[in-house]
Amino acid sequence: MSLVKSYAVWNNKGGVGKSTITFHVASRYAEINPEKKVLVIDLCPQSNASMMLLGGGTNGEDAVLGLCTHATPKTVVGYLSTVISGGSGAALPNPFDYLVDVNSHNPNMPENLFLLCGDGNLEPMSPAITQAAGAPALTPTMRPWLWVHQIFRRFIESVVAQDGSEWLVLIDTNPSFAIYTELAMSAADRLVTPVNADDSSRVAANAMFILLHGQVPPHPIYGSWTFAAQAHNHGLSVPKIHVIVGNRLTQNMGPATAFEALSDASAATLFNAYRAHPTYFTGRAAAAQTVDEFKRTYSVPLRDFNTAGIVAAHKGVPLSRLEGGHHQVHGSRVQINNVRVDECLVAVDALVATLT
Ligand SMILES: Nc1ncnc2c1ncn2[C@@H]1O[C@H](COP(=O)(O)OP(=O)(O)OP(=O)(O)O)[C@@H](O)[C@H]1O
Ligand SMILES: [Mg+2]
């Protein structure tokens, strides 16, 4: 049995809850599996998941900024620059020199949770990553594209080689399909895909399949140099959808309870993709035959977290440690009801339970 389960939390649509889900799942999984270890790799330059994990609000922002401004940043950028500047023949740096023990920054977090912190410089750095991936192969065995794309896969492997615990790896991603998102796709075996109950989620679901697996027939001009084509040519497997999270966000929807977490349109699109290409999804004991079976097997609804979610993210506190009553958020007094917190926790636990 592999010691690692790796999941990228990805949908190439913004604001669907990727970072929030990364934060809650990482903290909860670590809490209920104290004998295992959890690694979050933040491959989004916005670094929202890192900020929440490191204390939320301005504490979290300051902690991320502190790590980004080390002489060698203790972040995804520090690791990437060291590896790329060393070149493909160089020994890998020690991954633990770059990992942050989350509990030492934020005592609310479990002790078995580690972070390779996000960094805003990932965005300005991306042309350098692209250039390294596109470098000419100077010997027959060199494959610069593959070597660069697998940097975080090797990072995970070297973490596990040093610490033989069982690891859950969660990679937070950016909605753009930038080079660093390609690196995230190349590092994870599976996907947790949050979707909202609106039409744009259905469109985004189709776009995800094209980005990962390519278009049929391929585009006559750029079809040969897409990530999907290059991954195929280099024998790189792309991650499979493991669970679709129907996120009941209220912000664009009005009262979310009026809608199914996963809209019929999105479910139909995803089910059609599943029927045409079952290997785009992780396998189950029995194949889903109907859209309802598909929803039951592959999707989990996430309720609207409301004030509980806002306070948890603002204070960097896992839901299980969130106390009812009044909290100060951005100078305002907000009220949290314990019953609501428990309901949110049940929803997160249902999602955590799928990460087997
Ligand atoms: N289940 C939920 N209930 C209530 N609010 C939520 C829920 N999930 C996410 N949100 C809120 O929705 C907003 C967007 O969430 P988040 O930042 O996690 O999305 P994202 O997909 O990471 O965005 P981006 O694409 O910009 O990285 C945040 O304000 C977050 O607090
Ligand atoms: Mg995000």
Instruction: Quickly state the pLDDT bin for 254 (edges 50, 70, 90).
Output: very low
How does the average pLDDT of the chain come out, rounded? 92
pLDDT in tens, 283-331: 999 999 999 999 999 999 998 888 888 899 899 999 999 988 888 888 8
Q: What is the CATH number of the domain that holds 223?
A: 3.40.50.300
Q: For residue 194, give the ligand nearest its CA.
A: 1
What are 37's two structure tokens?
């270890």
- Whether 24 has a pLDDT exceeding 70, the answer reads yes
Lowest mean pLDDT among 15-24, 124-133, 154-163, 247-256: 247-256
pLDDT in tens, 71-84: 999 999 999 999 99
Phi first, then psi, for residue 170 (nearest 5°) are: -120, 130
pTM over 0.85: yes
Distance 36 CA to ligand 1 centre (A): 27
Q: What's the pLDDT at 230?
A: 95
Distance 29 CA to ligand 1 centre (A): 19
Q: For residue 176, give the ligand nearest its CA.
A: 1
Q: For residue 118, give the ligand nearest its CA.
A: 2
Q: Which residues line ligand 1 (CB under 6 A)?
A: 14-20, 44, 46, 48, 175, 247-249, 251, 302, 304-306, 309, 313
pLDDT in tens, 44-93: 999 999 999 999 999 999 999 999 999 999 999 999 999 999 998 889 99
Distance CA 188, CA 171 (A): 8
Q: What's the pLDDT at 193?
A: 95
Q: What's the pLDDT at 1?
A: 65
Amino acid at 78: G
- Structural domain total, the chain: 1
What are 207's two structure tokens?
């776009």
Inter-CA distances, 232 with 1, 38, 223, 241, 272, Å: 26, 30, 12, 18, 22
Q: What's the pLDDT at 249?
A: 67
Calculate mean pLDDT across residues 18-24. 97
Q: What's the pLDDT at 263?
A: 80
Distance 131 CA to ligand 1 centre (A): 32
Buried b (16+ CB within 10 A) or exposed e, 145-182: bbbbbbbbbebbbebbeeeeeebbbbbbbbbebbbbbb
Quote the percentage of the chain above a pLDDT of 90.
73
Q: Which among 249, 259, 302, 343 is the best mutation to test ligand 1's pocket, defined by most ligand atoms within 8 Å of the CB?
A: 249
Angle between helices 122-133 and 179-187 (to 10 degrees): 70
Angle between helices 122-133 and 76-86 (to 10 degrees): 30
pLDDT in tens, 124-136: 999 999 999 999 8
Q: What's the pLDDT at 259?
A: 52
Q: What's the pLDDT at 256?
A: 45
pLDDT in tens, 140-154: 788 999 999 999 999
- Whether 200 has a pLDDT exceeding 90, the answer reads no
Map the chain to HEC letters. CCCEEEEEECCCCCCCCHHHHHHHHHHHHHHHCCCCEEEEEEECCCCHHHHHHCCCHHHHHHHHHHHHCCCCCCEHHHHHHHHHHHCCCCCCCCHHHCCEEHHHHCCCCCCCEEEEECCCCHHHHHHHHHHHHCCCCCCCCCCHHHHHHCHHHHHHHHHHHHCCCCEEEEEEECCCCCHHHHHHHHHCCEEEEEECCCHHHHHHHHHHHHHHHCCCCCCCCHHHCCHHHHHHHCCCCCCEEEEEEEECCCCCCCCHHHCCCCCHHHHHHHHHHHHHCHHHECCCCCCCCCHHHHHHHHEEEECCCHHHHHHHHHHCCCHHHCCCEEEEECCEEEEECHHHHHHHHHHHHHHHCCCC
Distance 220 CA to ligand 2 centre (A): 33
Domain of residue 109: give its range: 4-352
Calculate mean pLDDT across residues 107-129. 97
Quote the percentage of the chain above a pLDDT of 70.
96
Distance CA 227, CA 299 (A): 27
- Whether 41 has a pLDDT exceeding 70, the answer reads yes
